[in-house]
Amino acid sequence: MSVGIFDSGLGGLTVWDAVARRLPELAVAYYGDNAHAPYGVRSADDIYALTRRAVHNMWDGGCDLVVLACNTASAAALRRLQEAGVPPGRRVLGVFVPLIEALSERDWGDNSPPREVAVSQVALFATPATVASRAFQRELAFRAIGVDVEAQACGGLVDAIEEGDMILADALVQSHVDALRRKMPDPQAAILGCTHYPLVADAFRAALGDNVTVFSQADIVAESLADYLARRPEMARGGTGRMLTTGDPARVSARATQFLRRPVTFEAA
């Protein structure tokens, strides 16, 4: 059956697009919970309930494997979903682990004990809910030692991107980078811990400077997924690439078309 990409809004389209380019023969469905976006300012229980409903809808709709292309959902809901029990033949994955594997220079799926890595000062830019969860730091501790992570909650940035106000988005990026540098003046690497943020990656790079390596998720997640499916081909058989939204399909289609700079058509979930 098809692989499903889930996000609270449009940000996951960056992952969907990267996966479609990396695996052009794969049927990739997309489910945006636009009616309830953004998730980043919601409580952990609320995020879990919304994510659980969306994931179960995707499983029921024929997606054997669902990727939470939403860092907030990955932080607040993934572990609870897995602990609650996943139906036989179904899987749900997050987007933190591939990013951490790339940062710590591990092979995909390498679960060996934590070890020292080249980078010791890392800036994390994410939504308030993701920052509050400390999920990134927890997952990083399983794989690397001696890494200091300074997190910056980027309030307002997702809203600006969703509304297509890139002038405001660029200004917010500069403001959040300035705030981060007051806490960590010289980060070696920066994690763009929201799938919306690749759309302003150039603004982050300009604000951070050439000495900071910026890790953005879309291509990393696509490469990790390609490796996962090569090892589990049964998770990628057949299916259709539907584009679903809980919001207004016409409005979401227009935003998505602007987002990706090519026609994208959504239907009601």
258 shares a domain with 246: yes
Report the CATH number that the domain containing residue 104 is assigned in CATH.
3.40.50.1860
110 shares a domain with 170: yes
192 shares a domain with 106: yes
Alpha-carbon gap, residue 79 to 12, rounded angstroms: 19
Q: Are 95 and 19 in contact (CB under 8 A)?
A: no
Q: Are 196 and 162 in contact (CB under 8 A)?
A: yes
154 shares a domain with 53: no
Domain stop point among 199, 216, 233: 216
Q: Are 218 and 14 in contact (CB under 8 A)?
A: yes
pLDDT tens sequence for the chain (269 residues): 679 999 999 999 999 999 999 999 999 999 999 999 989 889 999 999 999 999 999 999 999 999 999 999 999 999 999 999 999 999 999 998 999 999 999 999 999 999 999 999 999 999 999 999 999 999 999 999 999 999 999 999 999 998 889 999 999 999 999 999 999 999 999 999 999 999 999 999 999 999 999 998 999 999 999 999 999 888 877 677 899 999 999 999 999 998 898 999 999 99
163 shares a domain with 228: no
118 shares a domain with 167: yes
159 shares a domain with 248: no
Catalytic residue among 5, 58, 69, 70: 70
Q: What is the pLDDT of residue 80?
A: 95
189 shares a domain with 167: yes
Q: Are 161 and 196 in contact (CB under 8 A)?
A: yes
Residues linked to residue 92 through DSSP beta bridges, in sequence order: 66
89 shares a domain with 110: no
154 is catalytic: no
**Domain range holding 190?**
97-216
245 shares a domain with 169: no
63 is catalytic: no
Query: Per the structure, how many domains does the chain have?
Result: 2
Indicate whether this model's pTM tops 0.75. yes
Tokens 């098809």 -> residue: 2
Q: What is the pLDDT of residue 237?
A: 72
Catalytic residue among 5, 28, 55, 194: 194
149 shares a domain with 107: yes
Q: What is the pLDDT of residue 1?
A: 61
Q: Which residues contact 16 (CB under 8 A, 6 or more apart)?
A: 5, 28, 30, 69
